[in-house]
């Protein structure tokens, strides 16, 4: 697809975009991130963002900037390192307490599928943690620990987040606790193809590997989001993505009850055709460049070089359209594709799987 760009994935600057509600990121940034973020799109190591071209409109921050050291002192007792094992690989991220009895939030891509989870909170021995529920469509997970006494907890803000508002991130990048970075809100109600729409905020706070699951805080040390990803744009400025507080509130009741929402998986790596496929307009469709081993696409007989032009009767104009279409379906559903192969229209039925 587009030329390579340095990216940093949070698992664990800004790009041209509207600084308004309903924001979508540019296609170039989307194409780069879709190759890289774990657990989200065609392969275990790919993900992210929507399209649209616009320019950020700067707005003044709401009120004076918060003092980072004060926020760190207030919030850090409720923020800890989460560690576990996925297969033979050790993982670490960040989790934070939302209930004094031992409920914590983190990112789904940190906790989903992990074993031997433990949470390390300031002043306490490591606590064994259980994944109670997760929602891969929102990248949220809720954990439960059994603390020896009530824990310090963070509160959800309950206020509207606006472009220009100052924000802070407290987390444990690379397993090091009590690390804080600052920034401001660049966009709200950001949509990512294949995930719950309007569920994310984009901020300028720099984060690193291991910050996934970190709380995004306002100047009152209240939670306004959960950090899930980070990237560099072409100007080498860094931006981060967080699940919005509104989305957190909507998901929490189901997560507490043990809900486990998975995402549908097609299992291809691709992009826009470099040349017009026979029978298609120039640049139209989503070309299959590679199929993941044992993926639904491979089982259905899709081939490298196929160009997907229809999904369940709807036209596919680009890779973003295909990702969004798959994201609106459930694992196990059969979907009907039309692909162009050697100039011929070929119909293919795919049984969607569960994204690894």
Per-residue pLDDT reduced to its tens digit, 92-143: 999 999 999 999 999 999 999 899 999 999 999 999 999 999 999 899 999 9
Query: Residue 70 falls within a domain, yes or no?
Result: no
The whole-number pLDDT of residue 160 equals: 83
Range of the domain at 128: 75-144
Average pLDDT over residues 156-185: 91
The whole-number pLDDT of residue 283 equals: 62
The whole-number pLDDT of residue 61 equals: 43
**Candidate from 27-31, 59-63, 255-259, 331-335 with smallest mean pLDDT:** 27-31
Query: Do 134 and 255 contact (CB within 8 A), yes or no?
Result: yes
Do both 281 and 327 map to the same domain?
yes
CA dist 67 and 210 (Å) reads: 23
- Return the closest-CA partner of residue 30 out of 12, 5, 13, 55: 5
What CATH number is associated with residue 291? Answer: 2.30.42.10
Burial of residue 16 (CB within 10 Å: 0-12, 13-18, 19+) is middle
pLDDT tens digits along 265-283: 899 887 666 654 555 556 6
Do both 198 and 308 map to the same domain?
no
Query: Residue 2 falls within a domain, yes or no?
Result: no
Query: Residue 246 falls within a domain, yes or no?
Result: yes
Query: Do 306 and 291 contact (CB within 8 A), yes or no?
Result: no
**Considering 144, 178, 200, which residue would you say is the last residue of a domain?**
144
The whole-number pLDDT of residue 279 equals: 57
In order, the DSSP letters of 192-207 are -TTS-TT-EEEE----
In the structure, what pLDDT confidence band is assigned to residue 11 with cuts at 50, 70 and 90?
A: very low
Query: Residue 279 falls within a domain, yes or no?
Result: yes
Number of domains comprising the chain: 3
Do both 49 and 127 map to the same domain?
no
**Candidate from 74-78, 131-135, 259-263 with smallest mean pLDDT:** 259-263
**Considering 212, 228, 259, which residue would you say is the last residue of a domain?**
259
């Amino acid at each position: 697809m587009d030329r390579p760009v340095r990216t940093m994935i949070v698992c664990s600057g800004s790009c041209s975009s509207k600084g308004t509600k309903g924001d979508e990121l540019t296609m170039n940034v989307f194409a780069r991130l879709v190759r890289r973020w774990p657990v989200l799109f065609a392969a275990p190591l790919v993900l992210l963002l929507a399209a649209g071209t616009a320019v950020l409109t700067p707005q003044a921050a709401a009120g004076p900037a918060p003092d980072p050291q004060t926020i760190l002192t207030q919030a850090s007792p409720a923020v800890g390192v989460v560690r576990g094992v996925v297969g033979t690989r050790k993982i670490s991220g960040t989790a934070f307490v939302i209930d004094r009895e031992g409920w914590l939030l983190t990112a789904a891509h940190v906790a989903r599928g992990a074993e031997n989870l433990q949470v390390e909170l300031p002043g306490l021995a490591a606590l064994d943690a259980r994944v109670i529920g997760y929602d891969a469509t929102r990248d949220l997970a809720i954990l439960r620990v059994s603390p020896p006494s009530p824990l310090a907890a963070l509160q959800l803000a309950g206020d509207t987040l606006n472009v220009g508002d100052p924000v802070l991130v407290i987390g444990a990048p690379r397993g090091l606790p009590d690390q804080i970075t600052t920034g401001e809100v660049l966009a709200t109600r950001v949509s990512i193809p294949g995930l719950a729409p309007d569920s994310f905020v984009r901020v300028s706070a720099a984060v690193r590997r291991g910050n996934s699951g970190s709380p995004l805080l306002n100047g009152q040390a209240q939670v306004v989001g959960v950090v899930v990803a980070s990237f560099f744009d072409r100007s080498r400025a860094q931006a981060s993505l967080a699940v919005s507080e509104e989305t957190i509130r909507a998901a929490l009741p189901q997560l507490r009850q043990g809900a486990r929402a998975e995402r549908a998986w097609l299992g291809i790596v691709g992009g826009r055709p470099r040349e017009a496929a026979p029978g298609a307009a120039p640049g139209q469709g989503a070309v299959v460049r590679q199929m993941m081993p044992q993926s639904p696409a491979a089982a259905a007989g899709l081939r490298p070089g196929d160009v997907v032009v229809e999904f369940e009767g709807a036209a596919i104009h680009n890779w973003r359209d295909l990702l969004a279409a798959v994201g609106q379906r459930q694992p196990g559903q059969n979907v009907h594709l039309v692909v162009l192969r050697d100039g011929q229209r070929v119909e293919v039925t795919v049984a969607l799987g569960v994204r690894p």
